Structure 1
């Protein structure tokens, strides 16, 4: 079924968490992934009280994992393989490529777990880079691990559903799931993540999922069910500048994660296209694609490569060069802050302008050479947050009336715990590197647990809030500005652009504001059942999904646009449409809110009533939003917002509208 979303990510001290840190007590976590490394210092249980009596889970033993590996931090662990073996065949654990237990051999599960709930670790670093205090978003939370995916590849649908059932029965509070699948998406009544999460949410469990790493292309977002919190990845202000100097004494700066000994030495530099293994491989060699380089000509040299649309990864180029016995890589690519791990040799990422300057030097010099300097770590010297280049974008290809992703959180160059059993060396026959306890990585796999940690904190403050209420609090208080210049947030792409709701939903998360949102948009599980009916699924499929006998009323008109989400998304606006929303006051009992609209271009928006007055007998009020297109041509998606303001709170939801005309395809 699902596949692991590529993980490239904490734990740096993320300042907005600090206000909430002291109120967290015993929220529980669950991770559907490839296990956990229990000996990691991030999972120490120092100063933690006893396991909550409401916990019903177990610590399941297996290879290199016994009951003693659980503690007051890791309070539960299970592993699932019967579905995998029925679907894919017997698990191959020869050569210790996997453990038949909850133990993590890949690193992904350990990384994401420590991002969400890792304990405080002083002087954590990746080989001296990003050194400082490492901690998870909710460091006092408990962890339970449900290992359903394996390093040999794949996750079984049966195992995933079994894990969902166990997690619900065990009593978890938050499900953090860094899994997903690529387009085309399965229907909600066939997608096991949608099915399992539906039942979790019906039991009051908030489910947080990754948006996917297929950006910067539209309609690539995964995990699009409205009951899930879907998380995009954004950048942080930490950078890893790495200088290199050419033979003409010109110095350029890129980014790298290199701390080896190939520094301050002169090396010959060649262009990938010039050392192609065959004439037919020149295009592939330009980006240093797999097996495209002549090993004789690459040996002992630094190679300059340019990203192509077929080969965008510096990691692939690095593996290719290492396989050809090269000693370094300068990789020219579209601007991005995501930095690849350098395995044994320097891998400096630069933009195409710098790459072109290097190439011009090489073509005008008889014996071009280059010298690398060590990577440094800087903080606060680059604007953030920006939506990551790789982060999957909306609209949802399955239900465009449901805005996805919902929210963005840090997911680029994050330091977090890692499994020492995992190797960083690409599969090119190189010698294994020493094991690592911490690694820097990027991906929506890692932005997901950032939100999971925040959800645990919110849930500890507001234990009676539903999953929909928690999602509403996150979305309506998010920021659409950067942290430094106060300008509109940017999305990395080709080219960079102003970020919109298809990039980051409500915006970049602000944890402290989410704890006090003022108003929330709540949803009952029955509303999600109506949503499934509106998708056109038959009664049998909906009944199987909900585990309740359901007869969809085909005679009654129920619009997906009226699902009480903290957003309004109209994929086809023909002239005018009225939608309804209900808000619940969770702030001061006596509150007065006024509507403020930023209408999408080409659309007139009217909110009625424009003032909401809450008191002791009226804490839940309904309003309608009428949208009218003033365009007489087929339009594209445009964006605006609706905010309710009381002088303290700004409760903002995105407005997404695509005007259309009835006779667009008519003959002229």
Structure 2
């Protein structure tokens, strides 16, 4: 076994022992290797070391099957099924670092590429060759392999570095687009997607061109992912929820398989990095040059509602495009609730229903159709505010927000013969620009060592540093920086009386000879000053540093409200913008 394997993980999955008599939880266990084993080439040597941490109650159990799965890359430790007493007893063993029960995480269209300025046979898409040769690893609910988005027409074979496999059990399921599919759900036995979430996220990332895609005739067009010539490797780690141990095992396997990108649309609440297994796996991937992209979560927008916030992860927030499928309801018909369908004549009528309750909106629509209803209007719940959703219904249907629903009810109650019609149409509402991002002019570079200094700046203990780095490090002999000193193209400060000064280093990737002048738009109540105000470059890849100081204005007023601003470095050709977020003193 290589040194690389020795410094990484062995995942041990133990089946339940007398499940009716004891309560077992899955624990994530981190251990340290003794010096005598660090350079061993014997896999059984490493295996015996991990097994030495098993409590005697398990090790001596008769007829207890144990499945030992060699693993690598992400963390130094194991996954064990233990009682709380057994986990406590393990803490006394030499080499023990930490153990805690695993978490279970929740899972977090045709027009989007065009909206982002990606056009076939021209511009950035053409210049980047549509992602050709890149392998994207997707951790999710699996995949439906015969979906047209995963056709391999025109796709080359995977790169020689690819080591993955296809676990569908029959030949011909995977192809040059879908080059790998593995499953990590206990007892599931297949990478097949029974949920739909994984198929959706995989197609969004790398689906091929599918012409004539539409939703019951609406939004007709060509559906395509952002990197249509990239290869896909799918790792099934979820059904309706996702366990940490499966996620970590899949990240580990994906790194070893040879992916270039990890796409993860799942996560839990914010935790310290040493206690966040997605952050741990992402750190190992980042150190090996793998780009990790994760969803920001389904919560918010509110303070501390972010998931996957480790700075070595690209955390992707929710947004929108300039298109909606909107139905305008013009009232001209009677209504009823879904519970009264069996007692009310709804034949040929538009039925007004409250969203939620005992069933889903799609099943509500089916019930309306079965009762003879012509269409359905769904009133959203009050807690959903102005949010609405677009589902694939079996009859004409529209979802309106709670406030609009109250207006409709008021109209119905005030009219002797209320009427309605549903008219579907498109609408435009007022983002990232891939073409301009491909020629940014200036970049804010960062190295893995910067993150190490940041971890030391968090005042992590030696044990906590070891869990993240998978190696020992004495922070007293390493530099320490706060999060504000990470070389990020953004600034976040707490409103207060003290000044905040940060430095940033930018690298010139535009014209060799170029000059940039700064424009500052300070957040309300804050004075921002940049020094120097001009950056003069004489060659490509030249690095220059600037300093920015934030000071509370004399007449700042309320400092409990969050504010925003930005700075822009402008040259004759480029404009490089950095946002400023000032959050309230009481946050």
Cα distance in 1 for residues equivalent to 2:226 and 2:354: 37
Cα deviation digits, residues 314-348 of structure 1 (max 9, x gap): 98456467668764542345785753314334431
Do residues 542 (structure 1) and 471 (structure 2) align?
no
SS, match of residue 14 in structure 1:
helix
Please name the residue that 1:173 is paired with.
Answer: 260
SS, match of residue 547 in structure 2:
strand
- Conserved? CA contact 1:637–1:658, under 8 Å: yes
Q: 1:355 to 1:157 in 2, by over 3 A?
A: closer
Match of 1:14 among 114, 129, 136: 114
Please name the residue that 1:39 is paired with.
Answer: 146
Please name the residue that 2:490 is paired with.
Answer: 567
- Conserved? CA contact 1:303–1:321, under 8 Å: no
- Conserved? CA contact 2:495–2:560, under 8 Å: no
- Conserved? CA contact 1:600–1:655, under 8 Å: yes
TM-score (norm 2): 0.73
Match of 1:5 among 89, 93, 107: 107
Q: Larger RCO: Structure 1 or Structure 2 (Cα < 8 Å, ≥ 6 residues apart)?
A: 1
Please name the residue that 2:290 is paired with.
Answer: 205
- Conserved? CA contact 2:454–2:486, under 8 Å: yes
Q: 1:47 to 1:633 in 2, by over 3 A?
A: closer
Do residues 304 (structure 1) and 352 (structure 2) align?
yes
- Conserved? CA contact 2:453–2:479, under 8 Å: no
Q: How far off its partner does 1:12 sit?
A: 5.1
Please name the residue that 1:416 is paired with.
Answer: none
Cα distance in 2 for residues equivalent to 1:162 and 1:233: 27
TM-score (norm 1): 0.64
Please name the residue that 1:77 is paired with.
Answer: 181
Cα distance in 2 for residues equivalent to 1:202 and 1:657: 31
Cα deviation digits, residues 589-623 of structure 1 (max 9, x gap): 22211111111111111111211122238701121
The aligned runs of 1:203-282 (5 Å cut-off) are 203-247=288-332, 268-270=334-336
Q: How far off its partner does 1:361 sit?
A: 2.9
Cα distance in 2 for residues equivalent to 1:617 and 1:578: 28
The aligned runs of 1:150-549 (5 Å cut-off) are 150=239, 153-181=240-268, 183=269, 185-247=270-332, 268-270=334-336, 293=339, 296-297=342-343, 300=346, 302-304=350-352, 316=360, 319=363, 327=373, 328-333=375-380, 338-351=388-401, 354-366=404-416, 368=418, 370-372=420-422, 375-376=424-425, 378=426, 381-384=427-430, 508-549=431-472
- Conserved? CA contact 1:175–1:207, under 8 Å: yes
- Conserved? CA contact 1:306–1:352, under 8 Å: no
Q: 1:621 to 1:67 in 2, by over 3 A?
A: farther
- Conserved? CA contact 1:57–1:171, under 8 Å: yes
Cα distance in 2 for residues equivalent to 1:521 and 1:48: 34
Cα distance in 2 for residues equivalent to 1:47 and 1:370: 49
Cα distance in 1 for residues equivalent to 2:367 and 2:212: 34
Q: How far off its partner does 1:570 sit?
A: 1.1
- Conserved? CA contact 1:269–1:370, under 8 Å: no
Match of 1:135 among 200, 220, 224: 224
Q: How far off its partner does 1:192 sit?
A: 1.2
- Conserved? CA contact 2:509–2:541, under 8 Å: no
Please name the residue that 1:435 is paired with.
Answer: none
Q: 1:46 to 1:610 in 2, by over 3 A?
A: same
- Conserved? CA contact 1:314–1:349, under 8 Å: no
- Mean alpha-carbon deviation: is it higher for 613-622 or for 38-47? 613-622
- Conserved? CA contact 1:5–1:180, under 8 Å: yes
RMSD value, Cα: 3.0
- Mean alpha-carbon deviation: is it higher for 11-20 or for 23-32? 11-20
- Conserved? CA contact 2:362–2:394, under 8 Å: no
Please name the residue that 1:459 is paired with.
Answer: none
SS, match of residue 527 in structure 1:
helix
Aligned length: 468
- Conserved? CA contact 1:315–1:340, under 8 Å: no
Gaps of 5+ in 1: 86-90, 92-98, 248-266, 273-287, 385-507
Cα distance in 2 for residues equivalent to 1:555 and 1:13: 44
- Conserved? CA contact 2:504–2:547, under 8 Å: yes
Cα distance in 1 for residues equivalent to 2:436 and 2:359: 38
Please name the residue that 2:31 is paired with.
Answer: none
Cα deviation digits, residues 634-666 of structure 1 (max 9, x gap): 442221111111121111111122464xxx9xx
Please name the residue that 1:29 is paired with.
Answer: 136
Q: 1:319 to 1:533 in 2, by over 3 A?
A: farther
Cα deviation digits, residues 94-150 of structure 1 (max 9, x gap): xxxxx6211212111111111111111111112222111111111111111111112
